Chain A
């Protein structure tokens, strides 16, 4: 199985490939459209700033490639936010895979939302064989509002989307690669989809 991790100008992409390594899987880190299109599974990770990252994706033509993918795709953190329709961060139009909009957390909660929080989900798909309200690790200042494509919710100040899903596209706001056994199970579920 060919797992591709989309490479771009931000983030700690190594941690995703390390996590896959712990599951006994190897992956290719690339921004080559052909490799991405032909992969069995695509992971779109990310830590960074939305508008700069979006510009990079456009330069590489990835803004057209990613939404057209047919195989299972997993967006992580900034990856998830860029898959939405719009982000308040730098007033950035996203890839539009999901209809949800991305907004910034504000006081009274501390920003960034950093650490372990529990998430609500139905134990199926990428959450198969997990118990709802498991703790996962978050680091983010922006969030997708809950909507029709919400697959999991979390509460920080108010409710937000911890995961989104449509067709072959999955996305998580937290970092499965840093979320202990729970995160590993989520990655394993995604690979085995």
Chain B
């Protein structure tokens, strides 16, 4: 959800708003800024943007006392600016309890000074204001226009560590003309990692929605709140249309730059049919891997794994044609494994449409198959599946966990990486089937030692287990079978849970 950040602009101890940045347009909205802040806090607001207009005019902050009072309310993340031209006044704002100091003109006129403060106080204590006028950075209450374009300006401060920026399109502020969505889109396209706060031009809830859809972190709102065009708290946002024409509640775009942790259901196939029971309510044929695969994809699975556990050679011949059917209907990546013993076996499955193949016993018996497949079709094509059991150390087993090899899990995984596999799928035989959680310690050791992604497998029973595999196990993906097949953990609920736990996941 986009953060609504009310602006408290102070002039003569009162709460005012300017239009177009001009002091002679000041309109008084409240005689008591403290009560106003309290009211905001009580209506669910978490951030406050305070501007000392008297300070901006005189070159020295005037309302530090008021800032201190408002910070003492608690529950509010406050930034404060206006007239901060010296290190002492910068420090006085932080000492009064503000989380960040908002800086505008100074970044244009005396960048070396600001750079010093970044070194001394930290870039995370600065809230950089970028006022844009005709693509250039404006300053001094917008009365002056610099020769610097916003691209160069933002880029240079980003390089110094500043990551939270509020941006105003000067022409739109205080005019209720709608926010500068197009400008913000271009800024985010160029600097996708920044926390961009929109400022100015908001006239109602539909503007907030447009900003949210553009990926804006938060929005500073003044006049629209004070004139009653925007009630706090903001009610649930209206539904919007997304791809395919279906209507959904406007999704909050995730923070950019997070490779999502993957959730991978695994389907065991025997003679072309899924083995384990499935209790999806409206599925026609629980044994049909194709129908099941599509269903998992629709539910939000990030990838699928199909393991052929067919015992007879005759039965195995049906697998490539099944893979071909899956490739036709499935719009997410999938891995196939089980019974791949030669280079040629893998090629048949590649040509049938598999994105990746997983090698297990064959890789132990003939490790050079990893090199050959990786060289021919790329590292991403080869998943090295390792079943291991912990006794004194972690020993690798093959042939479906029946035959110990004497190989050490970590050394074998390392060798697999060196030979060119793109991922490790590690199943702990100690944990598999227990539903007591993944082998997080071993996973973390693998993850620290290797540079390729690690898929956790074996032991999933509860959503918390996935969280732990991602956090303490440092896994990049987690695979499970029965908890998904029997509906113990529906994938949409699992994703939602992980999201709430602060883990980056792809929400549909």
Are A and B physically bound partners? yes
Chain A interface residues (CB < 8 Å from chain B):
10, 12, 14-15, 18-19, 21-22, 47-49, 107, 110-123, 129-135, 137, 139, 141, 146, 150-156, 158-159, 175, 177-185
Whether A155 touches B257, Cβ cut-off 8 Å, given contacts A110-B451, A115-B476, A180-B297, is yes
A18 and B189 contacting across the interface, CB-CB below 8 Å: no
A155 to B189 Cα, complex, angstroms = 11
B251 within 8 A of A: yes
Interface residue stretch chosen among B52-60, B66-74, B238-246 = B238-246
A79 to B240 Cα, complex, angstroms = 34
User: Can you report 13 A-B residue pairs in the complex whose CB atoms are below 8 A from each other?
Assistant: A48-B377, A115-B260, A117-B260, A120-B215, A122-B186, A131-B253, A132-B185, A134-B253, A146-B190, A153-B189, A178-B331, A181-B331, A184-B244
Chain A residues within 8 Å of B213, by CB? 123, 131-132
A119 to B215 Cα, complex, angstroms = 10
Q: Which residue of B lies closest to A184 (CB)?
A: B331
Q: Nearest chain A CB to B187's CB is how many angstroms away?
A: 10
Whether A18 touches B353, Cβ cut-off 8 Å, given contacts A116-B262, A184-B331, is yes
Chain B residues within 8 Å of A22, by CB? 328-329, 331
B214 and A159 contacting across the interface, CB-CB below 8 Å: no
Q: Which residue of B lies closest to A129 (CB)?
A: B243
A110 and B452 contacting across the interface, CB-CB below 8 Å: yes
A183 and B331 contacting across the interface, CB-CB below 8 Å: yes
Chain A residues within 8 Å of B506, by CB? 116, 135
B327 and A156 contacting across the interface, CB-CB below 8 Å: no
B262 and A130 contacting across the interface, CB-CB below 8 Å: no
Q: Nearest chain A CB to B386's CB is how many angstroms away?
A: 18
- Range, interface on chain B: 35 or more
B451 and A129 contacting across the interface, CB-CB below 8 Å: no
Chain A residues within 8 Å of B44, by CB? none
B487 within 8 A of A: no
Q: Which residue of A lies closest to B242 (CB)?
A: A131
Q: Nearest chain A CB to B496's CB is how many angstroms away?
A: 15
B305 within 8 A of A: no
Give 1 or 0 for each of B440-458: 1 = CB within 8 Å of chain A CB: 0000000000011100000
10 A-B pairs besides A116-B259, A116-B260, A118-B257 with CB distance below 8 A are: A22-B328, A47-B381, A49-B378, A113-B259, A115-B453, A116-B262, A120-B192, A156-B259, A158-B193, A185-B244
Chain A residues within 8 Å of B460, by CB? none
A179 and B251 contacting across the interface, CB-CB below 8 Å: no
Considering the complex of A and B, which 6 residue pairs feature the smallest CB-CB distances, nearest first?
Answer: A155-B257, A133-B253, A185-B243, A135-B506, A153-B192, A120-B192
B333 and A137 contacting across the interface, CB-CB below 8 Å: yes
Q: Nearest chain A CB to B419's CB is how many angstroms away?
A: 15
Q: Nearest chain A CB to B317's CB is how many angstroms away?
A: 20
B302 and A120 contacting across the interface, CB-CB below 8 Å: no
A159 and B215 contacting across the interface, CB-CB below 8 Å: no
Q: Which residue of A lies closest to B188 (CB)?
A: A120
Q: Which residue of A lies closest to B379 (CB)?
A: A112
A159 and B192 contacting across the interface, CB-CB below 8 Å: yes
Chain B residues within 8 Å of A133, by CB? 215, 253-254, 256
Q: Nearest chain A CB to B424's CB is how many angstroms away?
A: 11
A123 to B253 Cα, complex, angstroms = 13
B351 within 8 A of A: yes
Chain A residues within 8 Å of B350, by CB? 12
A181 to B297 Cα, complex, angstroms = 10
B253 and A117 contacting across the interface, CB-CB below 8 Å: no
Whether A178 touches B333, Cβ cut-off 8 Å, given contacts A18-B353, A114-B380, is yes
A129 and B331 contacting across the interface, CB-CB below 8 Å: no
Chain A residues within 8 Å of B423, by CB? 114
Q: Which of A12, A19, A131, A135 contacts B260 (CB 8 A)?
A: A135
Q: Nearest chain A CB to B196's CB is how many angstroms away?
A: 10
A182 to B243 Cα, complex, angstroms = 7
Whether A114 touches B453, Cβ cut-off 8 Å, given contacts A18-B328, A137-B332, A181-B243, is yes
Q: Which residue of A lies closest to B187 (CB)?
A: A120
Q: Nearest chain B CB to A156's CB is how many angstroms away?
A: 6
Q: Name the residue in A110, A113, A129, A152 with the highest tally of chain B Cβ atoms < 10 Å from its Cβ.
A: A110
A12 to B350 Cα, complex, angstroms = 7
B355 within 8 A of A: yes
B191 within 8 A of A: yes
Q: Which residue of B lies closest to A141 (CB)?
A: B379
Whether A180 touches B185, Cβ cut-off 8 Å, given contacts A153-B190, A154-B257, is no
Q: Nearest chain B CB to A50's CB is how many angstroms away?
A: 11
B258 within 8 A of A: yes
A146 to B193 Cα, complex, angstroms = 13
Give 1 or 0 for each of B189-205: 1 = CB within 8 Å of chain A CB: 11111000000000000
A154 to B215 Cα, complex, angstroms = 13
Chain A residues within 8 Å of B255, by CB? 118
Chain B residues within 8 Å of A152, by CB? 189
B191 and A159 contacting across the interface, CB-CB below 8 Å: yes
Q: Name the residue in B185, B257, B379 with the highest tally of chain A Cβ atoms < 10 Å from its Cβ.
A: B257
Chain A residues within 8 Å of B251, by CB? 131
Chain A residues within 8 Å of B257, by CB? 117-118, 154-156, 159
Q: Nearest chain A CB to B149's CB is how many angstroms away?
A: 13
B385 within 8 A of A: no
A141 to B453 Cα, complex, angstroms = 13
Give 1 or 0 for each of B382-399: 1 = CB within 8 Å of chain A CB: 000000000000000000
Whether A118 touches B254, Cβ cut-off 8 Å, given contacts A18-B353, A112-B380, A133-B215, is yes
Chain B residues within 8 Å of A112, by CB? 379-380, 422, 452
B267 within 8 A of A: no
B167 within 8 A of A: no
A159 to B451 Cα, complex, angstroms = 20
Chain A residues within 8 Å of B260, by CB? 115-118, 135
Q: Which of A14, A150, A184 contacts B327 (CB 8 A)?
A: A14
A115 and B242 contacting across the interface, CB-CB below 8 Å: no
A183 to B476 Cα, complex, angstroms = 22
Q: Which residue of B lies closest to A113 (CB)?
A: B259
A100 to B116 Cα, complex, angstroms = 34
B189 and A117 contacting across the interface, CB-CB below 8 Å: no
Chain B residues within 8 Å of A122, by CB? 182, 185-186, 189
Chain B residues within 8 Å of A146, by CB? 190
B451 and A118 contacting across the interface, CB-CB below 8 Å: no
A12 to B335 Cα, complex, angstroms = 13
Chain A residues within 8 Å of B254, by CB? 118, 133, 135
Q: Which residue of A lies closest to B507 (CB)?
A: A135
